[in-house]
């Protein structure tokens, strides 16, 4: 066998392998159908006594409601970040089953409070760890603007 015949034989053997690989690649690159995920709104009411997580759909229909008091038996632990994390985890499991994949987060604390309660940030982190896409985080805490007139009049209470 001459060198040319040997080259032709080697080339003939390699060509079918290339064709098979190309066909496999073509089969692998089928357009995948994207699953349509719904969007929900998560309201986190975090005070220094409790953390309440309320999940609704975009039309404000309640989907799930979990609080720190439902997670723990001890009253002193209701507002801790650990309990808020478990509450958010339970709420995330419920909304994942219903097909919600992305959420808007609204955090609210006690009116006049300078900071949100200790469970708010832990709950948001827990939603992120559960694989939910957080689209927006908004603080909706009421801010007092003047408030009511103090009792006692102009010169105060006279005793």
Q: What is the pLDDT of residues 66-112, one digit of tens each?
A: 999 999 988 888 989 999 999 999 999 999 999 999 999 999 998 87
Calpha distance 159→151 (Å, rounded) = 14
Q: How many CB atoms lie within 10 A of CB 118?
A: 17
Calpha distance 87→77 (Å, rounded) = 12
Q: Are strands 133-139 and 100-108 parallel, antiparallel or unpaired?
A: parallel
Q: Is residue 155 part of a domain?
A: no
Q: Is residue 156 part of a domain?
A: no
DSSP letter, residue 102:
E
For the chain, give the percent of residues with pLDDT over 70: 78
Q: Is residue 103 part of a domain?
A: yes
Q: How many domains does the chain have?
A: 1
Mean pLDDT over 16-28 rounds to 56
Q: Is the pLDDT of residue 34 over 70?
A: no
The boundaries of the domain holding residue 119 are 38-139
The CATH number covering residue 62 comes to: 3.30.420.80
Q: Is residue 113 part of a domain?
A: yes
Q: Residue 19: what pLDDT?
A: 55
Model pTM score: 0.71
Calpha distance 115→79 (Å, rounded) = 14
Tokens of 12: 């003939």
Tens-place pLDDT, residues 61-73: 999 999 999 999 8
Please report which helix (H) or strand (E) contains residue 105, including its range: strand 100-108
Q: What is the 3-state secondary structure (H, E, C) of 29-74?
A: CCCCCCCCCEEEEEEEEECCCCEEEEEEECCCCEEEEEEHHHHCCC
């Amino acid at each position: 066998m001459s060198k040319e015949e040997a080259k032709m034989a080697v080339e003939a053997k390699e060509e079918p392998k290339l064709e098979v690989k190309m066909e496999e690649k073509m089969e692998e690159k089928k357009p995948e159908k994207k699953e349509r995920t719904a969007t929900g709104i998560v309201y986190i009411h975090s005070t220094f006594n409790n953390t309440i997580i309320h999940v609704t759909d975009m039309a404000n229909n309640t989907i799930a409601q979990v609080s720190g008091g439902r997670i723990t038996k001890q009253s002193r632990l209701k507002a801790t970040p650990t309990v808020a994390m478990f509450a958010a985890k339970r709420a995330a499991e419920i909304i994942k089953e219903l097909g919600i994949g992305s959420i808007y987060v609204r955090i609210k604390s006690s009116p006049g409070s300078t900071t949100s309660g200790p469970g708010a940030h832990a709950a948001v982190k827990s939603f992120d760890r559960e694989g939910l896409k957080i689209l927006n985080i908004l603080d909706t805490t009421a801010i007092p603007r003047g408030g009511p007139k103090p009792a006692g009049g102009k010169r105060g209470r006279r005793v």
